[in-house]
Structure 1
Amino acid sequence: MKRFIYLMCIVFLFPMVSCKKFLDTSPLDFKSPENYFSTESELNTALVGVYNRLEDERMYRRGLFTYLAISDEFFYRNVSTSSLFVLDFDAAQVDIGRFWEACYQGIDRANAILENIQKPVMDEQKRGVIKGETLFLRAYFYFLLVDNYGGVPLKLTSTKNPTDKPLKRATVKEVYDQILQDMSAAYALVQDLKKDPADQSDQGLIYSERVTKSAIAGILAKVCLTMAGEPLKDQSKNAEALKWSDLVIGSGRHMLNPDYKQIFINAAKDVYDTKECIWEIGFYGNNTGSFQQGGTLGITNGIASTDVNDPGYATGTINATARMYNLYDATDVRRDWCIAPFKYVTTNNKTTTVAWTTAQLYDRNIGKWRRQYETVVPKAIDFNSVNFPALRYADVLLMYAEAANEVNGGPTPTAELYLNQVKRRGHNKPVGTPDPAIDVARGLSKGKFLEELQNERAREFAFEGMRQHDLKRWGLYVSKMNSLAVEINANAPSTWKYAASAGKNTTDRNLLFPIPNSELVLNPNIGVNNQNPGW
């Protein structure tokens, strides 16, 4: 059972937002910060409210792995113009504004906890855990902001009054420095994941919806690799990424699930896989009752089906690109799991599968999250309880390999080993047994090894919201999107050529989202003259 997310049932009532327009109306019934945070329970309830912002529609309920993460992996069916789905939008686009707002709501909630963390009389270790998780979450919201908008206002105190003086944009480096400071402090405070899930003591965590030391170290590795790439290009951060990823690997608490598809079957069944899935964004139920905290994995980005019960309804709005399909070789089991090799056909209330032909590459839906395995019933049309995998152990292994390649001017034997472990698992082979037919060639140059690793990240994390982020930090996003359009125009059947639309529309301006128009109006210290380039 998803124990942590049950806390969502507790009403969390204190000022929750950072933008003035949301503070113009006072709530009729809430505990003010002066009267709240008086007990350990109230601190924990407030912490749930910070986690809650990660479950917003524009966050991990949908946006961050679909329409806010447009890349060369997928395209939206039947959309060619005037849409965020094909990168044809402006700074007034509502989802861009709501994403910004959700991040700052999370930051404001975190700031309120940090300002009141000393109020309750409670165990100091437990106080430290709450503080550590809060610091990490505040930093993570800033990571999402700086990664997508560039320099943003650095707000480190909670909103007290709608007339608070608006803040100027901090530089990208200043935001990252704050992220590193908060996450590093958090690492020392939070709990470890239990090595033995059967241990029911209070020491350590047995589920992955709350951040652990492994989660923080893994995300710190991701932050450092991002800083080492575009736009900062701080090469010194590769060594730090190596350090943080090595801490996760050396902890002995994690390992690759030997069966790739089982990771996602477990997620559908609400089974925790804490060795592989280090941090998950938790969802609960199917939004049919009063407590509505459902997710959407496998619905928009699933295999189209009109059968609500078996296998489960899915719009199948998103298709994989032929480029993504062709990245896999024929023996890679991830290909036909991530990209469905069949469609559902329902006739006379009976649903069967019909295989796609080899020519039907652009017809294929995403198959990574399959509703047929869901155990929460009755199944709902629009929501389910499947958690989103924010950090997997495979990611840590590949981040180590990438950082080691950069630090040493080429791959080390350990970097090769970790890359090969992921490749072997992807081919349904024992991860500890060398396989010359699968393993990366020994002694590749730095550039060739990076290319191998970049392709492996695409295969391993297909449709998990990472591809756009990776391409941008590698400085490849615009060229990859533009070349995708050329490929589709040259090779796709005429009925699918519109799939090139996003690639055609991609320019340097798409390296960042625009600062939302609503924020430019409200904050004169940003102003229209300080909009991101091209917007």
Structure 2
Amino acid sequence: MKGKVLSIICALGILTVSCSDFLDSKSQDEVIPKTTKDFRELLLGSGYPNPTNEHPVAITSYMDDDLDCDVNNSSAGADYTKSIFAVYTWQPDAERYESTVVSPELASTPYYAMFERIKGCNAVLDYVDEAVGSQQEKDQIKAEALAVRALFYFWLVNLYGEPYTENPQSLGVPLKLSSSVEEVSIARSTVEKVYEQILADLNKSAALLGEDSRVTTDYRINRPTVEILLSRVYLYMGNWQKAVEAATEAIRIGGELTNLTAIEKADANFVCTQYSSQEVTWMYGGSVSTFKIESGLNMSTELRTAYGENDRRMDLYYSYDASRGEYYNNKPSSTNDAPKSAIRMSEAYLNRAEAYVLWENKTTEALADLNKLRRNRITGYQDVAISDPDLLLKEIRLERRLELTLEGHRWLDLRRYGMPSIKHTWLPGVGMALQTYVLKEKDPMYTLPLPESVIGANPALTQNASAYEPERKAE
């Protein structure tokens, strides 16, 4: 085992990861994982999302309808703004905007970076049973590796495969489930097959974690988080009953919602994606993005005006620049080496509420979840009564947008909502005419092209149709 694991470690490049003491050892024997503690460190350093990198779906924050051009910003036409033009306007060569979010090298594309992390999870799963340690410790490590691998595959298939509810037989991504180094290229599995693997991993993870797994504050995944992820996956598949069951289990064993209305406005230390918020079940990885004032882009007017006057999310989720009269995102932790993204109990309530409506029009149950969330967000909120399922679904999805902004959900939600047409305005430079770019309904660019560098490295891959779209022009 030692030789195999050592070669895997070297291939992963984890000998330079500073978070693991054992990886800093000088002798060859000392860099070989032997104990369950070693494997926990291996998983943290090479499997879990990297906290110093941007979120795997950061690219999508420039593509959804929560962002738009700040026409009063003097940064319009600046180098940063120009560098995200291709993504912001849904160009077929969008992957080349990697000069800001990722670099043009193969190893820096979101696709490749996520598969590198999957490789780390696979290495742990392949060899942890041979480690020195208790079976309980081994099961815990396997459970974490399975859940993290499932999450990476969820992100991958929702970036590069068509939405499950649109075409489950379309091509998703390759399924690589072992750490073995093979010369044979691997073709893409269908979206349906990828989802089946995601569910298999999450359900096995939940079983291994067991009833005693509760929320921790050590950046390790846990059973409440796995149940939230299961509810998310079932929601994306249109399996409403299973989504309700998983969300209900998450709520049963997870934390309570944070009552934002009880937090002082002067509390500058509150961050909704940190463990200091009782509803956070897991902190992980880097931030998705922020509304960067210096970018010439900002929160869309549609999103900003959707928050009510007494909605505490406006002063607790965002910061305000009085000089420009603009809000910008303030969710990520200020600690550079700490995870900045999170999974929160609010998602469980939103997943369940939406699934209730779509599963036999259970409006009473759905409305209870919606009202509970709003009571914890809006000062002086009075419960509403909505009996129309269509109207209630619209309100739940609006609440989801307001609650989970810039946490990696909106673009993926738009895809599963049927891929509606959206518009972005673009200001090429100060004093120049404003332009409008359109992503039409069910546009091929709702499924991103595979990076050309990845296609070149794996000839078995088939490119998505979006790669062959013509250059998108302003209207």
Same fold (TM over 0.5): yes
2:243 aligns to what?
A: 241
- 1:329 equivalent in alignment to 2:331: no
CA distance in 2, matches of 1:495, 1:446: 47
Q: Which of 278, 284, 287 matches 1:281? A: 284
Q: Partner of 2:298: helix, strand, or coil? A: strand
The question of whether the paired residues in 2 share the 8 Å contact of 1:190 and 1:211 is answered with no
* Matching residue's letter, 2:197: Q
Alignment partner, residue 182 of structure 1: 201
Quote the residue 2:21 is aligned against: none
Please state whether the residue corresponding to 1:366 is helix, strand or coil.
strand
Is 1:518 the equivalent of 2:453? yes
Q: CA RMSD in A?
A: 3.6
Secondary structure (helix, strand or coil) at the match of 2:57 reads helix
Alignment of 1:498-517 (within 5 A): 498=434, 500-501=436-437, 503=438, 508-517=443-452
CA distance in 1, matches of 2:124, 2:85: 41
For residues 425-449 of structure 1, what are the alpha-carbon distances to aligned partners after superposition, in whole Å with 9 as ceiling and x for unaligned? 22124xxxxx54xx33232x22111
1:206 match: secondary structure = coil
Q: Are 1:15 and 2:11 an aligned pair?
A: yes
| Aligned-residue offset at 1:520 | 1.6
- 2:385 is aligned to 441
**In the alignment, which residue of structure 2 is the partner of 1:171?**
190
- Tell me the residue number matched to 2:5: none
Distance 1:117 1:370 in 2: 33
Relative to 1, partners in 2 of residues 1:206 and 1:336: Cα closer, same or farther, differing over 3 Å?
Answer: closer
**How many angstroms does 1:206 deviate by?**
3.2
Q: Partner of 2:255 in structure 1?
A: 254
| 1:392 equivalent in alignment to 2:336 | no
Secondary structure of the corresponding residue to residue 248 of structure 2: helix
SS in 2 for 1:223: helix
Deviation at 1:75, TM superposition (A): 3.1
Q: Distance in 2 between matches of 1:270 and 1:390?
A: 5
2:448 aligned counterpart, secondary structure: coil
| Alpha-carbon shift at residue 92 of structure 1 (Å) | 5.4
Shift of 1:456: 0.8
Task: Give matches, 1:79-478, under 5 Å.
Answer: 79=81, 82-90=85-93, 93=96, 94=98, 95=102, 98-150=109-161, 151-161=172-182, 164-190=183-209, 206-207=216-217, 209-228=219-238, 237-251=239-253, 253-259=254-260, 266=269, 272-273=275-276, 275-281=278-284, 301=290, 304=293, 315=294, 318-338=297-317, 340-343=319-322, 354=323, 356=325, 364-369=326-331, 374=334, 384-385=336-337, 387-411=339-363, 413-429=364-380, 436=382, 439-443=383-387, 445-475=388-418, 477-478=419-420
Q: Deviations over 1:61-105 (max 9, x none)?
A: xx6346555211113662478422332341752449610011100
Q: TM-score, normalised by structure 1?
A: 0.69
Match of 2:4 in 1: none
- 1:257 positional shift: 0.8
| Conservation of the 8 A alpha-carbon contact between 1:66 and 1:301 | no
C-alpha distance in 1 between matches for 2:200 and 2:26: 32
**TM-fit CA distance, 1:107:** 0.9
For the residue of structure 2 that corresponds to 1:42, the secondary structure is helix
Q: Distance in 1 between matches of 2:241 and 2:315?
A: 36
Closer/same/farther in 2, CA of residues 154 and 258 from structure 1, 3 Å limit: same
Q: d(CA) in 2 for partners of 1:144 and 1:33?
A: 36
Tell me the distance in 2 between the aligned counterparts of 1:254 and 1:499.
46
| Contact 1:508–1:534 (CA under 8 A) maintained in structure 2 | no
AA at the equivalent of 1:102? A
Aligned residues: 419
Question: Which letter maps to 1:115?
Answer: D
Letter in 2 for 1:521: G
- Aligned partner letter, 2:219: E
Distance 1:267 1:43, change over 3 A: farther
Post-superposition offset of 1:527:
4.2
In the alignment, the residues of structure 1 paired with residue 305 and residue 295 of structure 2 have an alpha-carbon distance, to the nearest angstrom, of 21
Report Cα offsets for 1:189-222 as digits up to 9, x if no partner.
226788xxxxxxxxx5531521110000001110
One-letter code aligned to 2:64: S
Residue identity (%): 23
Does the CA contact (< 8 Å) of 2:291 and 2:329 recur in 1? yes
The one-letter code sitting in structure 2 at the alignment partner of 1:259 is L
Q: Residue type matched to 1:43 in 2?
A: F
1:422 to 1:208, Cα distance in 2 relative to 1, 3 A: farther
- Counterpart amino acid of 2:260? D
What code does the residue aligned with 1:85 have?
Y
Q: Counterparts of 1:179 and 1:262 in 2: how far apart (Å)?
A: 41
CA distance in 2, matches of 1:209, 1:43: 15
Which runs of 5 or more residues in structure 2 are unaligned? 1-7, 14-24, 71-75, 162-171, 470-475
Distance in 2, matches of 1:472 and 1:327, equals 21
Between stretches 116-125 and 85-94, larger displacement belongs to 85-94
1:32: how far off? 8.7
Q: Cα distance, 1:37 vs. partner?
A: 3.1
Q: Distance in 2 between matches of 1:511 and 1:153?
A: 19
Normalising to structure 2: TM-score of the pair?
0.77
Asked if the contact 1:301/1:318 (under 8 Å) is kept, the reply is: no
Residue equivalent to 1:55: 51
